Chain A
Amino acid sequence: MSEALVASRAPGTDTSVPGVSGARQFWRRLRAQRAALVAAGIVALLVLVALAAPLLTAIEGQDPTTYHPSLIDSARGGVPVGSLGGIGGDHWLGVEPQTGRDLFARLAYGARVSLGVALAATLVQVFIGVVVGVAAALGNRWVDQLLSRATDIIVAMPLMIMSLALLAIVPSSFPRPVLVALVIGLIAWGNIAKIVRAQTLTLKELDYVSAARLSGWGAWRIARRELLPGLAAPVITYSALLVPQNISVEAALSFLGVGVKPPTPSWGQMLTAADVWYQAAPQYLLLPAGALFVTVLALTVLGDGVRTALDPRAASRLRVGTGRRREAMADAGASAGATTADAGAGTVHASSGTVHASSGSADASTGSADASATKEAKA
């Protein structure tokens, strides 16, 4: 089952071979999706804030770790002085209850941790996944059996539980953010290895790879020169969806108190603190929760966009509601051919649209030209 699911999620083998035109096509398709563009903008902003955190907090004149006891109203149980949680010119987003630490600084530095750990973890996952997947596909039967079974076992391990447990046994002297990234990366590479293996098996049979093999190229050279370019599309697609997942896991681990530890600020930790304050100062929760929500949402939408741009056929099945019209229009020409391969699903509608409209439900197609495209065709 799980294999079947992964296989069905894996981008199809009919993606056009990336080259110069492939990259250009990718950007064209990505730009055509309004939601993905907005998401990309938000992600860019977040990355900017993360990178410029020291600069921004210097402008504010604060840092993430200094306590400000004078801003805390101990008579009211430790909530910040003032009505808006201490928001003002000195503290742009107010201060933390109890400690009085500057919230903007903690949020900005927290973005560094969140994004940094998630990206590093994704890189580890992709590296291991690609190496294992390619080796399994190119190796002999025993290598394949060994690596595939190992992958199955890795996939069977629940990520949260395993990382929670693994984080317990490493001495606390080890730099914590690096450790969290490593642990997530070392546990959750199974699915990407499966996708890479399946894709490599397909690519291996293609003529240009056979030609390289017949020319006497070694396995390493074939893997690097002929196979890796063909793997780019599925790997990028899957990694784009891994990043938001990793952000959630890091935040969850830090929330449980085993991830990134104080004094390093992280969004998950801020939520732990908010847990205590949920009655006295509920607004304090909104900042880390909102930051986390917006970041994961933006990255997920961007990941969806990347998938649509790289593999319109597979993505159209799971397409989300926003920005469909332009996206479908951009796709309509490009993927009319691809749809034909889609097990007989909705090819007729994609090209004409009128056939279907006559049946009274113009929007039943899940082919790449869906509801909106059909309506466009009618109009």
Chain B
Amino acid sequence: MNGFGGFVLRRAIGTVVTLFAISVIIYLVFYATPGNVAQITCGPRCSPVQVHQVAQQLHLDDPLYVRYWHFLQGIVVGQDYSTGTSVQHCSAPCLGLSYQTDQQVTQLILTKLPVSLSLVFGAMVLWLVLGVGTGVLSAWRRGRLSERMLTGITLAGVATPVFVIGLVLMIVVCGQLQLLPFPQYVDFTDDPEQWAWNLLLPWFSLALIEAAAFARLTRASMLETLAEDHIRTFRAYGVGERSIIGRHALRGAFAPVIALNANNVGSAVGGAVLTETLFGLPGIGQELVHAVNVVDLPVVVGMVLVIGFFVVLANAVADVLYAVADRRVVLV
């Protein structure tokens, strides 16, 4: 199949296949573990009989492929779980029950998702504006002192781990200057103003680092475009520098920025985990770290799958956007 429609279709199929493969790998890796899940779930003081009961309850004695099949069934049609005395129905898409709290993983993720999405999307707006803005500025002021300073700052930004900048911001802004209170997450639907106010610091922590990469990329692609022949022709015709930078050179940076933005979703999610932990935001990241520490496998697997889903989806969407933005891309 050829053309744009075919390209989108092929990308969609590829995305589904990738997601399926990721689910198999993650499931197998996590449930074929050397650690004794039943023992960990039951706790250190359990007798062997109790451990055996737990293992039966969690179907840990079934072969791995049977358990994976049940897991898939749960996602598609839902599943019933017997938790001791009562039976709990976990409706589709069911990612299982937490070993620790018997809570449905899907519910758990849904309650935590708004926090993480608020954090990541708010920060994304910020890093795109800051990053592309800085990049445009340094391409415009190229060769001057201000450009050197900007490139120096962005280099430092690229080299700073996200939790370091978060800690520094927290100490300076919350601790020393007392400009902002220590963030307490407020739901957007409760109070939009407080929501933004409390997320300001986490947004900046996450965005400053990412912005640096965008600034470098924007500057580089703009300089590349500026060196092309058609720009010289524009100059020869007397087109103003402002128009050349703002309209023609910026267009050249468009496609690479989209590409980088999708590529960075994975690292941004990683950064979000750190930011949430640092500022105590009750999002997916914080819950994941907690689940990892108590070896709550269904929660870990469910969250990794959901995050993987978002990352793969972002990449696929960006592929399509990239092809739209830059028709020179060979559609394969």
Contact = CB atoms under 8 A, between A and B. Distances in A.
Interface string B271-297: 101100110000000001101110101
Given A271-B163, A292-B161, A345-B224, A5 B260 contact: yes
Interface in A143-198: 149, 152-153, 156-162, 164-171
B270 A159 contact: yes
A73 interface: no
Interface stretch (B17-25, B59-67, B88-96, B101-109): B17-25
Nearest to B330: A4
Given A170-B34, A170-B35, A153 B18 contact: yes
Given A251-B161, A256-B273, 6 more contacts: A5-B259, A157-B311, A168-B293, A271-B163, A285-B171, A322-B152
Interface stretch (A99-107, A221-229, A364-372): A364-372
A297 B295 contact: no
23 contacts: A1-B322, A2-B318, A5-B263, A158-B266, A158-B269, A160-B267, A161-B266, A161-B303, A165-B26, A165-B301, A169-B30, A170-B33, A171-B34, A244-B159, A252-B161, A252-B274, A255-B277, A257-B289, A279-B175, A297-B156, A300-B155, A320-B151, A321-B148
A322 B35 CA distance: 51
A346 B164 CA distance: 40
B86 interface: no
A60 interface: no
Contacts, number: 212
Interface of A is mostly: helix
Given A274-B167, A300-B155, A367-B227, A171 B289 contact: no
Contacts of B269: 158, 160-161
A298 to B, nearest CB: 8
A63 interface: no
A337 interface: no
Contacts of B323: 1
Interface in A1-38: 1-2, 4-5, 8
A184 to B, nearest CB: 12
Contacts of B147: 321
Interface of B is mostly: helix
Contacts of B315: 1-2, 156
Interface stretch (B74-82, B188-196, B199-207, B229-237): B229-237
A346 B232 CA distance: 11
Task: Pick from A165, A258, A345 the residue with the most CB of B within 10 Å.
Answer: A165
Interface in A242-298: 244, 248, 251-252, 255-258, 271, 274-275, 278-279, 282, 285, 289, 292-293, 296-297
Contact of A161 (B159, B293, B304, B318): B304
A300 B300 CA distance: 32
B122 interface: no
Interface string B298-324: 001101100110011001001101110
A158 to B, nearest CB: 4
Contacts of A364: 142, 223, 226-227, 231
Contacts of A365: 227
Contacts of A258: 289, 292-293
B270 A161 contact: yes
Interface residues of A, number: 63
A153 B18 CA distance: 6
B289 A164 contact: yes
Contact of A317 (B149, B224, B304): B224
Interface residues of B, number: 86
A293 B159 CA distance: 7
B176 interface: yes
A363 B142 CA distance: 7
B267 A158 contact: yes
Contacts of B229: 344
Nearest to A347: B227
Contact of A366 (B25, B227, B311, B312): B227
Contact of A278 (B175, B256, B263): B175
A363 B143 contact: yes
Given A161-B273, A344-B228, A256 B30 contact: no
Contacts of B321: 1
Contacts of B148: 321-322
A289 B292 contact: no
Given A153-B22, A156-B315, A158-B307, A275 B273 contact: no
Nearest to A248: B161
Contact of A167 (B236, B265, B292): B292
Contacts of B295: 168-169
Given A300-B158, A345-B224, A366-B224, A257 B163 contact: no
A361 interface: yes
B296 to A, nearest CB: 9
Contacts of B289: 164, 256-258
A317 B236 CA distance: 24
B319 A2 contact: yes
A328 interface: no
